[in-house]
Structure 1
Amino acid sequence: MRFDIITVLPGLLESPFAHSILQRAQKKGIAEIHVHNLREYTNNKQKSVDDYPYGGGSGMVMQIEPFSNCIEKLQAERVYDEIIFMTPDGVTLNQEMANELSGKENIIILCGHYKGIDQRIRDIYVTREISVGDYVLSGGELPAAIVVDAVVRLIPGVLNDETSALSDSFQGELLDAPLYTRPADWKGHKVPDILLSGDPVKIENWRYEEALKRTQERRPDLLD
């Protein structure tokens, strides 16, 4: 799977992709993550990518030409399944969406900055708009990293235990049950006896009941 991320701050994405699961996925050749500096696709000597908004108002707007130049160069090299724009007014990312995207082959992600991007970029090129929550960040770089992380970990071969991702919160529309590991007794705080019973049926039933209880308490909207 290949991700091409277009941004004015490529350095901001160096660390998220250079560690842990994402690093391992790239070393295995399971995922490719390429970060493109938008300023390299400008048509002016100043390498500026923004200008004042038509109609007035505060802030600066990212111009269409740099994005167009970069997107069309990439499209000339391969076919892309999705061109995603990270924006607070997009569809909120969830596990179902991550599952769907993990079946794609090539994805471009556009990172906005400043006040926003020229609407024509969204109208002409973007196939999907994604939000990571009802709040505004300084740019789309961190949300892009979140999308890549959520998707790549689902690709077969990335996790050492592939069944782990299938039991994560939200995979079965429930939050995950409480988790425990050694020691069984820590300063009087004990692991539930059922988990030490060795009975897989009873343990699975306990985990389901606990997951249902936790979901009812914390995210009843998932049950609705």
Structure 2
Amino acid sequence: MVKIDILTLFPEMFDGVLNSSILGKAQEKGIVQFQVINFRDYSESKHGTVDDTPYGGGGGMVLKPEPIFRAVEAVAGDAKPRVILMCPQGRPYDQKMAEELAGEEHLVFICGHYEGYDERIRQYLVTDEISIGDYVLTGGELAAMVVIDSVVRLQPGALGNQSSAEKDSFTTGLLEYPHYTRPAEFRGWKVPDILLSGHHANIERWRLKESLRRTRERRPDLLEKGELPDEWKALLAELEEEEKNSGSESE
């Protein structure tokens, strides 16, 4: 079982997300255990103050170190969990990191608000800073939900069919191939004949080729990250030849 603790000032934001769909079922199966903590409870101030004005002046408020340190130390105990700060300055999140975090037994997410964090939280408490994109959200809660969902669905037994996760976009380094279901024809649009053939080897080859086609069209940068397998190179060559022939026919 993986244990996930979430430190936030707005615990109610997580109620629906953690108790629905795959995440809710994973809890029921004992695959994951969630705990949502309001770190305001760890403030020593009688008013529950967790932020203050920044030294040196400037706009906004900065989260104080004391409540967050106490909260993390309380949930960690003697263990050494991965302590994750959701932050636009963090490492860009991707499927490889999701797979890495999925192998951990205990994760702690810190969701901040206001102008930012006291720098000592970054320096002496967290193990990872994660960004889900080059934009700024009101707080870290939505970003944490994205990361948690991507990690839990990789846990054995979380999905009805584990092979679904293994073939997701980015897991193989490619975008996922197109999917079709019944009916075989809808408004004149037909499912590709190969998918109705029952020939599994040909179907797998078609799926790989379509993954390469979609990746080449939408995310060519993914194909530039390293040496490609020979089969991929051969299929990419086929795609290029098809495009040339298509261009010649249209002239």
TM-score w.r.t. structure 2 length?
A: 0.87
Q: What residue is the counterpart of 2:243 in the other structure?
A: none
% same residue: 51
Amino acid at match of 1:11: E
User: Secondary structure of the residue that 1:181 maps to in structure 2?
Assistant: coil
User: Secondary structure of the residue that 2:16 maps to in structure 1?
Assistant: coil
Unaligned residue ranges in structure 1 (runs of 5+)? none
How far apart, CA to CA, are the structure 2 residues paired with 1:26 and 1:18? Answer: 8
What is the Cα deviation at residue 48 of structure 1? 1.5
Q: What residue is the counterpart of 1:64 in the other structure?
A: 65
Contact 1:80–1:108 (CA under 8 A) maintained in structure 2: no
What is the Cα deviation at residue 66 of structure 1? 0.4
Q: Which deviates the most, 179-188 or 65-74?
A: 65-74
Q: What residue is the counterpart of 1:20 in the other structure?
A: 21
How far apart, CA to CA, are the structure 1 residues paired with 2:81 and 2:14? Answer: 22
Q: What residue is the counterpart of 1:102 in the other structure?
A: 102
* Correspondence list, 1:74-223, <5 A: 74-76=75-77, 78-223=78-223
What is the Cα deviation at residue 64 of structure 1? 0.5
Unaligned residue ranges in structure 2 (runs of 5+)? 225-251
- The structure with higher relative contact order (CA 8 Å, sep 6+) is 1
Structure having the larger proportion of residues in helix? 2
> Which structure is larger by alpha-carbon Rg, 1 or 2?
2
Amino acid at match of 2:188: G
How far apart, CA to CA, are the structure 2 residues paired with 1:167 and 1:149? Answer: 17
How far apart, CA to CA, are the structure 1 residues paired with 2:80 and 2:183? Answer: 49
Amino acid at match of 1:67: I
Extract structure 1 runs of 4+ deviating beyond 4 A: none
How many pairs does the alignment contain? 223
What is the Cα deviation at residue 75 of structure 1? 2.3
What is the Cα deviation at residue 51 of structure 1? 0.6
Q: Deviations over 1:151-196 (max 9, x none)?
A: 0000001111011100000011000000000000001010001100
TM-score w.r.t. structure 1 length?
A: 0.98
